[in-house]
């Protein structure tokens, strides 16, 4: 089975490479240069009409959107998600928590805090405070648990890929002891170590420069 991952060094991209590493699958990485607008080219839009990474080619299947890809892989290989319907529902809740909450809010915090030349204090505090609130929700869920849904799952992968770079958006995590403990557990997993370096992240200076080009297009 040939597997190709069209991706970039972003939290959403790393979600899929980590999942593939956790599953022990062989795959070919197709790095997409976002700052060059490759994701908007006609050939890529045939893979994902929304012009975003990641995209996974799994044999004849083509799946776009990181959350959909995580679900596809977990269901396909019967790993990273419980077998019971109730267990799967819980994992999906926390996957959607990241997809609809932490991801969009932290993405905007990145833009206003890190990438825009014009600093708008109200916008920065708005998104940073909302991220902090969401982190507190996650911290509460992790009270007495090693993983978000008891057993390690795609919910942990999805949330960690964003939370691990809290500093880039200027988010304060002081006092969130459960969150920090969970982050430390994630950081020690071999698949997380490998997957969060596929593809390799640019230098901070190049990352900021590239992001500025992307948000202007």
Question: pLDDT digits over 84-140, tens only?
Answer: 999 999 999 999 999 999 999 999 999 999 999 999 999 999 999 999 999 999 999
What is the model's pLDDT at position 217? 58
CB-count burial class (<10 Å; 0-12, 13-18, 19+) for 34:
buried
- Burial class of residue 66, CB neighbours in 10 A (0-12, 13-18, 19+): buried
Domains and CATH numbers, the chain: 3-79+195-203 (3.40.30.10), 85-189 (1.20.1050.10)
Write out the two tokens for 116: 């825009």
Q: What is the pTM for the complete model shown?
A: 0.95
């Amino acid at each position: 089975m040939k597997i190709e991952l069209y991706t970039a060094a972003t939290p959403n991209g790393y979600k899929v490479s980590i999942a593939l590493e956790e599953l022990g699958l062989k795959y070919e990485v197709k790095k997409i240069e976002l700052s060059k607008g490759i994701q908007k080219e006609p050939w890529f839009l045939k893979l994902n009409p929304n012009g975003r990474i990641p995209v996974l080619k799994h044999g004849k299947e083509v799946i776009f959107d990181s959350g959909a890809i995580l679900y596809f892989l977990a269901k396909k290989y019967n790993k990273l998600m419980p077998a019971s319907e109730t267990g799967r529902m819980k994992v999906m809740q926390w996957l959607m928590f990241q997809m609809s909450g932490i991801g969009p809010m932290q993405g905007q915090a990145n833009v206003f805090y890190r990438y825009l030349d014009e600093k708008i204090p109200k916008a920065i505090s708005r998104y940073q405070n909302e991220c902090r609130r969401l982190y507190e929700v996650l911290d509460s869920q992790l009270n007495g648990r090693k993983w978000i849904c008891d057993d390690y799952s795609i919910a942990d992968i999805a949330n960690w890929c964003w939370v691990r770079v809290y500093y880039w958006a200027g988010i304060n995590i002081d006092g969130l002891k459960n969150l920090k403990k969970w982050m430390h557990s994630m950081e020690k997993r071999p698949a997380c170590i490998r997957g969060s370096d596929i593809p390799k992240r640019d230098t901070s200076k190049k990352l900021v420069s590239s992001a500025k080009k992307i948000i202007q297009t």
